[in-house]
C-alpha cells in the first residue's frame, strides 16, 4: 500500500479539477480527479499535499483541511491510503500541469464529468460537510465492487 494525497481546491461554487490526459499508462487516464500524488520519503500528509499542489498547479495552499482517509483497492493497481483534503485558501496563478488539464468547474457540472465511481461517494460527503470519515473503495477494473464507510458496507 502506498500513501497519497487527494485535494479538492475550492473557489466559491467551483472546484479545481485535473483531467488526466497527459501521462502514459495512467490508471486515471481520461478521468477528472482532484490534485495530489504519492508521498516522498519522510513526508507527512500535509507536506505531500503542499508539494503536490505547487508542482501540479503552481498554487501555494494557505488554508486546507484533512477530511478523511480513503483506502483505494484495485485488482489492476497497487493499493493506496489516500489522505483526502479540501482547500479554500491559496495564492498564486495556475500553471500548466504535466499530468493533465486543470479546469475550474462548478460542483453541478462536476457530476457530469468522467471520474471514478467511488469519487461520487466522497464528493457528496465533502459537499455535505460530513465529519472526518474512513472510506474503503474496492474496484475490479473500473467497476466499484465494494464501498465501506466508517465500517458500514454501503455498496
Q: What is the pLDDT of residues 8-33, one digit of tens each?
A: 999 999 999 998 777 677 677 678 99
Predicted confidence at residue 20, as pLDDT, reads 75
Three-state SS annotation for 7-33: EEEEECCEEEEEECCCCCCCCCCCCEE
Distance CA(37)–CA(57), nearest Å, equals: 12
Instruction: List b or e across 97-116, with b for residues whose CB sees 16 or more CB atoms inside 10 angstroms.
Output: bebbebeebeeeebeeeebb
The CATH number of the domain holding residue 62 is: 3.90.79.10
**Residues in the chain, total:** 155
Q: What is the mean pLDDT of residues 133-137?
A: 98
SS3 helix, strand, coil % of the chain, rounded to 5? 15, 50, 35
Please provide the average confidence, as pLDDT, over all residues in the chain: 93
Distance CA 69, CA 84 (A): 6
Least confident of 6-15, 21-30, 61-70, 79-88: 21-30
Whether the pLDDT of residue 102 is over 70: the answer is yes
Total count of domains within the chain: 1
55 phi/psi in degrees, rounded to 5? -65, -40
- Parent domain of 6: 2-153
pLDDT tens digits, one per residue of 108-125? 888 889 899 999 999 999
Amino acid at each position: 500500500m502506498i500513501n497519497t494525497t487527494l485535494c479538492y481546491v475550492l473557489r466559491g461554487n467551483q472546484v479545481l479539477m485535473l483531467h488526466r490526459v497527459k501521462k502514459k499508462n495512467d490508471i486515471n487516464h481520461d478521468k477528472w480527479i482532484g490534485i495530489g500524488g504519492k508521498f516522498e520519503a519522510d513526508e507527512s500528509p500535509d507536506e505531500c499535499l503542499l508539494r503536490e499542489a505547487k508542482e501540479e498547479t503552481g498554487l501555494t495552499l494557505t488554508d486546507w483541511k484533512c477530511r478523511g482517509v480513503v483506502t483505494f483497492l484495485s485488482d489492476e493497481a497497487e493499493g493506496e491510503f489516500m489522505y483526502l483534503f479540501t482547500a479554500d485558501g491559496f495564492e498564486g496563478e495556475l500553471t500548466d500541469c504535466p499530468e493533465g488539464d486543470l479546469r475550474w468547474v462548478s460542483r453541478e457540472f462536476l457530476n457530469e464529468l468522467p471520474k471514478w465511481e467511488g469519487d461520487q461517494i466522497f464528493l457528496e460527503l465533502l459537499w455535505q460537510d460530513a465529519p472526518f470519515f474512513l472510506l474503503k473503495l474496492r474496484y475490479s477494473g473500473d467497476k466499484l465492487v465494494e464501498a465501506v464507510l466508517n465500517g458500514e458496507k454501503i455498496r
